[in-house]
Structure 1
Amino acid sequence: MKRLLIAGTNSGVGKTTISTAIMAALDKVTPFKVGPDYIDPRFHEFVTENPSYNLDIFICGEEAVKKIFIDGSSRGNISIIEGVMGLYDGKNHDLDNGSSAHMARLLKTPVMLVVDAKGASTSVAAKVLGYKLLDSRVKIGGVILNNVSSEKLYDLLKEGIERHTGIKCFGYFPPNPEIELGSRHLGLRQAEEIEGLKKKLEVLKEMAEKYLDLEGILEASETDEVIESSYESEKIKDMFKGLKVAIARDTAFSFYYRSNIELMEYAGMEITGFSPLNNEKIPENSDFIYLGGGYPENFGEILENNKITQDSIRNAYENNIPIYGECGGFMYLGKGIKDKEGVYHKMCGLIDVDVEMKNRLNIKRFGYINFETTDGLKGRAHEFHYSDISRVGDEKCYFDISKENGRKWQCGFTKRNLLAGYPHVHFWGNIEFFKKLFEKGRR
């Protein structure tokens, strides 16, 4: 199996740009992303035209991660994993901390280390050597240098790195403003933005073919080490056979873990899509409604005026069809959203909660969380949102949430057949939650 994890020395060194370029230049790539990020996998899918899978040790556990990787890797010629932050950066300073390095060890995968070489010479070799020595169990299979102004300078840097570290260099990228990927709000892929992205990808592919040793990278990705998983997914095969699940799918609601959808299908669910942005009704005979995350705040006026969708969701609620909303889906199910311009847009009104958009990420409720439900389920999830709850009526919470830094709060509003809140839950790591959630649809 050919597999490679592309990691950076730190955030902002060009890891996503170079990962995207390599994916664009190689054939039949199965892409993966370390961590809970929804944005980079959208890049991957756009580039490769293949599904991209999140790999998250903290939320899912090691055995589930291996299972997701094994199943996904069988679909392509090479698996490319884009790392997260710097190579060793995780939830703490342990080496088993959910970092890209931890993932590389778990999946027995060589690392291609991306290094920003701007303004440096022999010091780049010292940096690479440090990453090699911190954990000798991590196999750094090669180095790619970013922001190198000329081939002559690259040759100089390459000679120093290979002499002092014994790690081979596989090319470089020169500075190029054409390939800057901007704010990366890929959830807002309007037609003109897609055209711009296609042009950038063409440039990235050309740069990869010109500046990178693609044959060498393929050789570095080869390994005969076998990955095995003890994750017992067979226990839920066809558990919910015939359950009809309606999923909101458009540019306002686009954040779903690919593995979650595939697990639902493996459990026998029949999935159909509907678009609140296009004012579509819930599909007939639906047994369950799932509204994922995304950017409903950017379409507030449209969603407010699309009464056909809102009415069909309210009617489904009155007819006791279970509804589950995550983050953006939660916001849409509430009373309303106040955007950053201060304009209030009415939403479905099934939960007596208002939210207000902010200019900054809600850092107090950002990142990995532990949760315990009112009926005794324990699990892990992730929160990431630029909105705050500005008003809450007499609503009951389902999740008691805590972070490792000691911060605690409640979320996950529940009433009758509805559950909605900010946490993004990966079903593979929370299988009991998964079963309890969709059991409501079967009843």
Structure 2
Amino acid sequence: MKKILIAGTSSGAGKTTISTAIMGALEGVSPFKAGPDYIDPKFHEFVTKNPSNNLDLFMMGEDAVKYIFSKNTKNISIVEGVMGLYDGLNHELDNYSSAHLSRILDIPVILVVSGKGSSTSIAATVLGFKNLDPRVKIRGVILNNVGSEGLYNLLKEGIERYTKIPCVGYFPKDDRVSIGERHLGLQQASEIEDLNEKIEILKDMARKYIDLDKILEIAEDGNEAVELKNPAEYLKDRFKGKRVGVAKDRAFSFYYSENLKLMEYTGMEIVEFSPVNDFHLPPNLDYIYLGGGYPEIFAKKLYGNSSMMEDIRKASKEIPVYAECGGFMYLTKGIEQLDGNFDHMCGLLDIKVEMKPRLNIGRFGYVDYESKDGIIGRCHEFHYSDIYDIDEENLYFELKKKNGRRWSCGYEKDKIIAGYPHIHFYGNLDLFVNLFDR
């Protein structure tokens, strides 16, 4: 079973660019993303033509992570890490970080290190990562932002002398492969017109500057594939014959792929629809699922599609509607943009949303929840907006961070449950059943 995890020394080290390049240069790659991110997996899927699955120890738990990893392997599994290798919920080593994940899944690590403005000191950086937790199998180093082959060889000599970890290549800075960012991270893969061209450049760079044979050799350093039991096996065909409308377009695209697969496993028929482009909901739906995304960017198109909004208003009185983050914003009275303009939304929840110029850090990150029904689980919040003029009282979630901060979120009205929290169903099976069993 070939497997590697590509991690960085910090956010911005270049792991997404280098992971995508290596995924494109190799054949039969099963891509994965450590942590809760929705955007990076879409680049993985674009370049490999295979689904990319999130592996999030906090939200999913070890059993679900091991199961999803084992059942989605092809020739080689490549996991892109999250933040820096050891960055997680706290300063413990079992902190749901990329390093923690690599130990749970017994994956060798390739460490991406910036070579900019460094010499012998770069060896101290790599040595520190090696020694912080000797259980983490750092088996190779890739240097990013290196100006020349001569500089790479100089840095390589120092790293290998003092750490005994081989350098397996480098990436020079190349503006042709840069990808713009916005408030939730990188632009979405579907928005980048010249993405095919960028990917071809990245693949060529990987073949030219990375020792791919050495990568494959390192990836052999793992256990044999093991067939694991599906933690949701008891839910097989639980919702057989039910049709669920899933909002899928440029405004709503944040879904964990295994959430959708679980829905199909339980017997649901997924029918995709576009709140931006379709005039009406698909017929004969039993549920509606509105995922996260960018309703604020497509607000005028969403509000201009009055027939779709009216269908959703009517449906919410009759069938369960579950909405996360962007989907939740869509159901409110409207969104106040950064320029002060107010864009009306569905008006199903008597709440207004205000966009913010920076991340809502008070409600960012991993959160424990208890639902109104007494269900306990874990979720994630990440949003550049906040709510105001709140005239809804029927709250569904009580949320608590590890630092003791508490708040309430998630609103229940008619057949709707909607809020900012993102849920991975595999780590929250009781909640999954409750959401679709109403």
TM-score (structure 1 length as normaliser): 0.95
The answer as to whether partners of 2:3 and 2:222 remain within 8 angstroms in 1 is: no
Q: Secondary structure at the match of 1:414?
A: strand
2:428 aligned partner: 430
Q: CA deviation at 1:280?
A: 3.1
The answer as to whether partners of 2:245 and 2:289 remain within 8 angstroms in 1 is: yes
Q: Secondary structure at the match of 1:204?
A: helix
The answer as to whether partners of 2:179 and 2:186 remain within 8 angstroms in 1 is: no
Q: CA deviation at 1:182?
A: 2.1
Alignment partners' CA distance in 2, 1:377 and 1:369: 14
What do you get for the CA RMSD once the two structures are aligned? 1.3
Q: CA deviation at 1:245?
A: 0.4
1:294 aligned partner: 293
Q: Where in structure 2 are the equivalents of 1:206-221 lying within 5 Å?
A: 206-221=204-219
2:112 aligned partner: 114
Change (3 A) 1:412 1:58: same
1:30 aligned partner: 30
Out of 322, 328, 334, the residue aligned to residue 336 of structure 1 is 334
Alignment partners' CA distance in 2, 1:399 and 1:381: 11
Q: Secondary structure at the match of 1:97?
A: coil
Change (3 A) 1:2 1:353: same
Change (3 A) 1:67 1:89: same
1:327 aligned partner: 325
Q: Aligned AA for 2:421?
A: P
Alignment partners' CA distance in 1, 2:9 and 2:15: 9
Change (3 A) 1:227 1:233: farther
Q: Secondary structure at the match of 1:189?
A: helix
Q: Secondary structure at the match of 1:281?
A: coil
Q: Aligned AA for 2:267?
A: G
Q: Aligned AA for 1:121?
A: S
The answer as to whether partners of 2:63 and 2:231 remain within 8 angstroms in 1 is: no
1:58 aligned partner: 58
The answer as to whether partners of 1:8 and 1:87 remain within 8 angstroms in 2 is: yes
Alignment partners' CA distance in 2, 1:293 and 1:327: 5
Q: Aligned AA for 1:72?
A: N
Q: Aligned AA for 1:304?
A: Y
1:40 aligned partner: 40
Q: Aligned AA for 2:14?
A: G
Q: CA deviation at 1:185?
A: 4.0
1:49 aligned partner: 49
Q: Aligned AA for 1:66?
A: K
Q: Aligned AA for 1:374?
A: K
State whether structure 2 residue 187 is matched by structure 1 residue 186.
Answer: yes
Alignment partners' CA distance in 2, 1:423 and 1:304: 24
TM-score (structure 2 length as normaliser): 0.96
The answer as to whether partners of 1:351 and 1:395 remain within 8 angstroms in 2 is: no
Q: CA deviation at 1:279?
A: 3.3
The answer as to whether partners of 1:108 and 1:227 remain within 8 angstroms in 2 is: no
Out of 144, 147, 150, the residue aligned to residue 149 of structure 1 is 147
1:282 aligned partner: 281
Q: CA deviation at 1:222?
A: 0.9
Q: CA deviation at 1:188?
A: 7.6
The answer as to whether partners of 1:104 and 1:111 remain within 8 angstroms in 2 is: yes
2:239 aligned partner: 240
Alignment partners' CA distance in 1, 2:20 and 2:230: 30
Alignment partners' CA distance in 2, 1:364 and 1:224: 39
2:306 aligned partner: 307
Alignment partners' CA distance in 2, 1:116 and 1:340: 35
Q: Deviations over 1:414-436 (max 9, x none)?
A: 01211000000110010000111
Out of 332, 343, 346, the residue aligned to residue 344 of structure 2 is 346
Q: Deviations over 1:242-285 (max 9, x none)?
A: 11100000000000000100111111111001101103311111
The answer as to whether partners of 1:147 and 1:175 remain within 8 angstroms in 2 is: yes
Q: CA deviation at 1:224?
A: 4.5
Q: Where in structure 2 are the equivalents of 1:69-148 lying within 5 Å?
A: 69-73=69-73, 76-148=74-146
Alignment partners' CA distance in 2, 1:333 and 1:9: 40
Q: CA deviation at 1:100?
A: 0.5
What runs of 5+ residues in structure 1 fail to find an aligned partner?
Answer: none
The answer as to whether partners of 2:232 and 2:429 remain within 8 angstroms in 1 is: no
Q: CA deviation at 1:396?
A: 0.9
The answer as to whether partners of 2:392 and 2:411 remain within 8 angstroms in 1 is: no
Q: Secondary structure at the match of 1:91?
A: coil
Q: Secondary structure at the match of 1:70?
A: helix
Alignment partners' CA distance in 2, 1:383 and 1:159: 43
Out of 364, 381, 384, the residue aligned to residue 383 of structure 1 is 381
The answer as to whether partners of 2:59 and 2:427 remain within 8 angstroms in 1 is: yes
The answer as to whether partners of 1:2 and 1:222 remain within 8 angstroms in 2 is: yes
2:67 aligned partner: 67
Q: Aligned AA for 1:331?
A: M
Alignment partners' CA distance in 2, 1:231 and 1:265: 14
Alignment partners' CA distance in 2, 1:163 and 1:19: 26
Q: Deviations over 1:377-430 (max 9, x none)?
A: 111000111111021114310001111111111110001211000000110010
Q: Deviations over 1:40-90 (max 9, x none)?
A: 1111111111111111001111111111111111xx211110001111111
Alignment partners' CA distance in 1, 2:186 and 2:208: 29
Q: Deviations over 1:281-306 (max 9, x none)?
A: 11111000000000000011111110
Q: Aligned AA for 1:28?
A: G
Q: Percent identity?
A: 59
2:353 aligned partner: 355
Change (3 A) 1:188 1:312: farther
Change (3 A) 1:91 1:227: farther
The answer as to whether partners of 1:248 and 1:273 remain within 8 angstroms in 2 is: yes
The answer as to whether partners of 1:66 and 1:227 remain within 8 angstroms in 2 is: no
Out of 370, 390, 393, the residue aligned to residue 391 of structure 2 is 393
Flag as ranges the 4+ runs of structure 1 deviating above 2 A. 184-190, 226-233
Change (3 A) 1:79 1:280: farther
